[in-house]
Each structure stands twice: as structure tokens, then as C-alpha cells.
Structure 1
Amino acid sequence: MSDTKKHVIVVGAGIVGVSTAIWLQRDGHQVTLVDREGPAAGTSYGNAGLLASGSIVPVTGPGLIGKAPKMLFDPDQPLFLRWSYLPKLLPWLFKYLGHANAADTKRIASALYDIIGDSVADHQALAAGTGAEQWIKPQEYMVAYNDRAHYEGDAFAWSIRQAHGVQFEELEGAALGEQEATLSDDIKFGVRVLNHGRISDPGAYVKALAAHVVAEGGTLVQAEVSDIVRENGVATGVRAGGETISGDAVVVAMGAWSGKLSKLLGLDIPLESERGYHLEFWEPSKMPKTPIMVASGKFVLTPMEGRLRAAGVVEFGGLEAGPSRAPFELLRRAVRKAMPDLTFKEETEWMGHRPATTDSIPVIGEVPGTRGAYLGYGHQHVGLTGGPKTGRILAQLIGGKKPNMDLTRYSPSRFAG
């Protein structure tokens, strides 16, 4: 336990905020969780449910600048843009695309690996004794390609994973069919990635973790936080729902909605929503053995409690606009192509917001110039995967401990000035 017990206000009750709260409580601190909609209301509910330890290669790989325009005009590609949003997006997009090169891809992958590389173990440690353990399913993961040539087109990404110790096996022909019989015959090549896992119901999992925070003496407040209270350069609380909640430290972990509070703290973090979509097929006629990334459509098929979830797509359109129809239709077509014999009782849709920084690396650490104010967001496609490690780092920093890793890569100060 830390020498000084603090009252920490954690703004955001998704996987990062709830993980931070649990690790703070284990270190002896008092915690108040504040969220506008309650636990697991956003991306922590709607994600692919994958503990993707090997998903360290960012979207901004070499060649993206050349591919992106063609993808935007192809209705069968998983990249969408609301054109009316383009003027607002452009400053962020120019910085984002500036990292689409080999050197930056390797640097980003190294930073991500240190957050997500032990994801299954991190989740098991987080959930131990909380009642949420039941949703953690350690298992392998499949990446499905049309054929070997399709796979070899991703050679650079696989070389980066291999350099970081990610273990995988190539499967072709009969070996692929033996591993996964639910896929279309058009999918002729697969990569079985070891030491991964899934959460069989992400929403229920995060809600159970939040319930544990309350059971351990934490407070859950459903309200919108409008400001961080500061006195003499120190964060002393938040204004939420018209009232002030006082504390000794504040953590902003609101995912894609974190930008406003960060600006109030003097930091203009370049943050955008990579809008993601999912379809769920309830009582499906067939279920994959493991989660499957269908490489041609850049979406994941994940077995969940009573249903199969297909999650993916990137759409740039900001936080305000409602869902677009085209991404749902693309997902529908892609699932039909990957699993042509699939039948189901009911289908449901969801759209949510992945928080993405321009350099694809999360923001984790204390705000420069404001003691006691901490940020934890920006995990783009790997928020569920990296939530527990991020929460543990933040709890250590708040408790005056020094994590045994290079935190400068995640520091909020990299966007200062």
C-alpha cells in the first residue's frame, strides 16, 4: 500500500477507468467513479471482445497514403468518411498520415507491445477475486486470408510481431479446415496466433468489475463532468452534474470524449474518433472455435454468450453524427462471404467511438503543469486489450511509485506546446 491514502476521482467507467479504480483500491486509496452513462456504456461494451496481444501494428503502416483514397471510393473496403466532416478532420489527418512509414510503424508497435503484450495475464490479475473472471477465455486467435499471396502481402506486419515474440503458426488447405470448419472455402490460408484470449461478454465483464469497485467501498456517480477543479496548479476535484466532488487526484479516462477536459487542463491532444461498428447474430447456427480476423474485410468474428459478434470498420465522422448505413451493409456482406451458411434468430447493430491519437499511441500520465491530474485514453483499436495495464500504470503513478518501463512514449507532455 502507498504511504499516503488519497481520494481519487476517475472520470470514465469504461475498461481503463474501472481498471484504474480497482488497482487504486488495492493500493489503499478511496475511489469515486464518475460517468455520464454508467459503466461499459460505450466502446467497452461494443468492441470485438478480443484480448489482442499481437495487435501492435498500427493502421498507419507503410503505403497507407497511397491506399486510403482508393479505399474511400470502394464500397467493399472497410474505410468510410462523412465528407461533411473532412474540413474538421484534416489537421488531425495530416499528422496521422505523417506516421505512415516503416520507422514510425516499428516505434509505435514497440510502445503498444509494452501496454498489450501480456493482455491475458493482465486481465486475469485485474479480475482476480472480482467475480468477473468468468468472462475471460484464454485461447488462440485466427487471422484468415484468401490465400498465401494475400498473407504475404502482410509480411512487414508479421515480421514486426515476430520481432516482439508473438508466436504464430501458418495453416493452409486441410490444416486450416481442421482448425476452423465454419469458414468459406474461398478462405484458403490462416495464421493461428497463440497466447491470446477473448472476453465472452465485454459489457457484462466491465459492469462486473465496476460493481466490484462499489462493493469494495468505491462510489459510482452517474453525471457529466464539465470541469476539473484546480487550486494553485493542483487538481482538487471535478464539477459533475452541477456539483463539486472534491478529491486529491483526478483521472480522465473518457475514451474519445476525453479531449474537452484535456483542453480545460491546457492540453490540446490531437484526438479523433475512429468510429467502429458491430453486428451481433443471436443463436447462430454455427460458431467459430476461436475469434477470427477476416483479413480481407478487416473485421473480427468473436464467439460471445449466446451470439456471434462481427466487429470492425473505420469511419471518420466525429462524435456527434449518428450511425451510417453503409458500414453495416459492408459488414453484413463480409460476414455472408466468410460464413455463407450462417443462419441466426436475430440480428442487432451497434456503432461506437474508438479514441485515436495522431501517433496511434495512448496518452498515459500526469498533465504537465497540473499536479494530480492524469490522463488515460487513446488506445484506438486495443482499448479492451490494454485497459488493465494502463490502469495499473496510472494507479502506480498516483501512488508515487515508478513503473518499470519507459513512460515517456505515452506522456501527455509529448503534445504540449
Structure 2
Amino acid sequence: MSGLKVVVVGSGIVGLSTAAVLVQRGCSVTILDRDAVAAGASRGNAAAIAWTDVAPLASPGIWKDAIKWMMDPLGPLTVRPAYALKILPWMLRFLAASRPAQVAASTKALAALNAGALPAWDRLWRASGTHNQVRYDGCLEVFTDLRKLAATRASWAEQRRYGIEVRELSSVGIRDLEPALSDKVVGGALVPGWAQVDDPYHLCLDLADWLKTQGVHFQTACVEAVQPGADWVDLRTAQGDTVRADKAVIACGAWSKSLAAQLGDRVPLDTERGYNITVSNPGVDLLRFIMLPGHGFVLSPLSTGLRIGGAVEFGGLDLPANWKRVSAMVTRAKEIVPGLQACEGKTWMGFRPSLPDSLPVIGLASASPHICYAFGHAHHGLTQAATTGELSAQLLFGETPSIDLAPFGAQRF
């Protein structure tokens, strides 16, 4: 089946990774995107290959924290009032996904997907010559509240059941690894298997450059319609052009919902808006990725500076950004890292494409075996991109996927 003409819709990290796998299989690949390479969520993510994260966001106890967080308009989770009615159906599905049986099923599926994440990335990094952009310094989960620390031990135990190493540390042990942290830290854990890239945007640009050397064609075009034929796929753009291919991959993140609907799959995709600031001269040296679960954001040392970001805001694709959320994260970060200097920095807001059960959509479209979905990765687009690319290629080539993809199908809704 080499020589197939494949169109990938989306030039974020998932689309780029999928194109990379396909071109190595001998396909002729075109990437269509409404914007420039990695102009969306892939441009400003936290840079983590967080394959050790196997717990879905939906969980039996999340609502206790969620209600408290939503009382604070600048807290870790908020819903913009103008978007409250639109997000309500998603929230009801999220509530259903928080039942213990569903959480257990989602955890099993995430663990299977994430188990292949780092090996798939290693193959792609080496093939593309970008393997020098990854670090294996681990992740520190840091707590300033003893109750939240105690409550998190159950999730650490779950990770260990899947063979993931988690080393609990005292407050002294944490500060031995990261002396810049304040004495407000009461404890946490080191997850040594975690990996991180130097800068996610630079990785995307370098992958795109490599893909061009492999003959991949990039075209700026907004795909408005997908029409499958007997053994082809037509993609119509907003410019009035029609691109015909043997196969197609829908990997345009937050903009994938309407295309899936045209193909008979009503996917409850929405967006978790994430905010961050990247400070080129933070005044402190952090040696590894630091996660602050009780505060809803992370500290990520990049080659371009310290990225402070995270949080979840439900506000859709059209409402303006609320930059006060960045200021709130910086204020809290300074309490945990007293020497932090963040008066100036590059701010960013992006749209994480999210499903209520925390599982992406990876599978064939109902309308055609020639169209594959690869979207909805939420906080783990970078983590799961390479393995999603391999799985998508397996589906398009009619092969048995390396993991059970039933939990990820669009038809599960």
C-alpha cells in the first residue's frame, strides 16, 4: 500500500507526528491547516511527555474540588458565564464519566495508550534527527497542603500498579532536589520516568522542516467539508478548492468536531482553554518539571525560559482571553518559588481539545474506512502524538492496532 496519497488535516503536533509515520511508510502526504504550523495548542503547551499520567481528569472526588475552584474566577478551574449553558451538556457527560466503573475503564485505556508514548517518540525523534531536544530529568509533584498530599497517595498507588515508578519525598527531600522552592512545600513525589522537550514549538517547526525534506507538502487551507467516495476522499476548502486523496486523517484539534459530524459521528468535543507565561530570565534555576496539583498549574523549564502555566477555563473558541488568569498563576508561583522574577514574559492562551472521559478520539470514521480520526488529546497532545500517529497509520493500512482502540472510537458516545 505504499504510494498512497494521504491528506492530514491539522499541522499541530498530532498531525505532524501522523504525517511522519505515514511518509516513512511510503505515502505521499499533504498537510492542510487553516493556520501556520503549530499555531494552536501545540505552540504553547507545557513541553511534557507525561506518559506516566494514567488518571483521567474525571474522577469520583473531582467535583468537591471543582465546585470550590469555580467559586474563584481566577482559580484552577472556571467557566466563563457567557459559556455556561453551552458547556452544560459536556459537564453532564463529565459527571457520568466520574463514576468509579468508568474511571477504572478510562484509566486502563489511558495506561495502554501511554505505555507506547515514549517508545513511539523515541522512534520519531531518531528518524527526524530531533532526539537532542528531549531531557529525562523526571517530574516533581509538589504540595503545600498535607491533606491534598495524603489524598494523592491513592493515585500514586494506581500508577505503581501499572509499573510506573513514583518516589514519595519529604519536604526536605523535595528541596534537596530543587533548592529554589520555599519551605511552604510539605512534601511530594519524584516521577523519574517523565520526559520533557526543550521547547514544543521549536520541536514542531523542526519536525515540519524534516517532513518537507521527505516530500510532505504543506498548504494553508481551512477544510470545510469532507466527502468520502468508494475508494477516495474529497476535502473541500474555504477557498473553494477540492483536494482528493486515497486516505485522510482528521487531526485538527479543537476544530475537528464539525468535520466528524459530517461523517456521522457526533463527538462531544469542547475546549479547555489553558494560559501561560514564558519568562526568559526568571531569576531562579529549576532543574526539572514541577507540577503543583493543588494549585492547577506547572513550572516548566524550557530552553527559552521558565513556562508558568496550566489551569482550565471553559469559554469556547470565540470569547476573548482573560489575562488576569496569568497574573494569578504568577502570584501563586512566587509563593512557592520566592526568588521568581516574572515582571515580563510572553503570555499565551490556547485551546486544548477535550472529551468528557479524558480519552482522545483515535479510530475510523463511521462513514468511511478511508478516514481516520486523531484528535481530542486535551492535556496530552504532545505526550500521545507519536503513538497516535502509529495507531492511525495501522488503521489506514488495515492492520490490527497495537492496542485495543475500542475505548477511543468516536462511536463510543
> Which amino acid is 2:123 matched to?
A
Report deviation, 1:405.
Answer: 1.6
Report matched runs for 1:8-407 at 5 Å: 8-75=6-73, 77-146=75-144, 148-232=146-230, 235-240=232-237, 241-343=239-341, 346-407=344-405
The CA deviation at 1:135 is 1.5
Rounded to whole Å, the distance in 1 between the matches of 2:324 and 2:28 is 45
Which digits, 9 at most, give the CA deviation of each residue in 1:286-310, with x for residues without a partner? 1211100012212111111130001
SS of residue in 2 equivalent to 1:153: helix
**CA RMSD of superposed structures (Å):** 1.6
Query: What's the % identity of the aligned pairs?
Result: 32
- TM-aligned CA distance change 1:382 to 1:137, over 3 Å: same
CA change 1:127–1:90 in 2 (3 A) is: same
Q: Which runs of 5+ in 2 are unaligned?
A: none
- Following TM superposition, by how much is the alpha carbon of 1:357 offset from its aligned partner in structure 2, in angstroms? 1.1
Q: Which amino acid aligns with 2:302?
A: M
Structure 1: unaligned runs, 5 residues or longer: none
Q: Which moved more, 1:337-346 or 1:55-64?
A: 337-346
The range that moved more, 16-25 or 396-405, is 396-405
Change (3 A) 1:176 1:358: closer
Which segment is superposed worse, 105-114 or 192-201? 105-114
SS at match of 1:268: coil
Shift of 1:336: 1.2
Q: Deviations over 1:114-164 (max 9, x none)?
A: 222343332121121323222111221110012544311113322221111
Match of 2:411 among 399, 410, 413: 413
Distance 2:120 2:142 in 1: 26
User: Does the 8 Å contact 1:279/1:331 carry over to 2?
Assistant: no
Contact 1:294 1:338 (C-alpha < 8 Å) held by counterparts? no
Aligned mates of 1:214, 1:303 — CA distance in 2: 29
TM-score of the two chains, using structure 1 as the length reference:
0.95
Q: Is the 8 A contact 1:7 1:248 kept in 2?
A: yes
Greater Cα shift, 50-59 or 153-162: 153-162
In 2: Cα distance, 1:67 partner to 1:130 partner: 42
State the AA in 2 paired with 1:237: D
After superposition, give the CA deviation of every residue in 1:72-99 in whole Å (9 maximum; x if it has no partner).
1135630111111111111111111111
Instruction: Say if 2:74 and 2:324, in contact at 8 Å, map to a contact too.
Output: no
TM-score (norm 2): 0.96
Matched AA of 1:16: V
Instruction: Give how far 1:235 is off.
Output: 4.6
Q: Is the 8 A contact 1:106 1:160 kept in 2?
A: no
Contact residue 225 and residue 239 of structure 1 kept, 8 A: yes
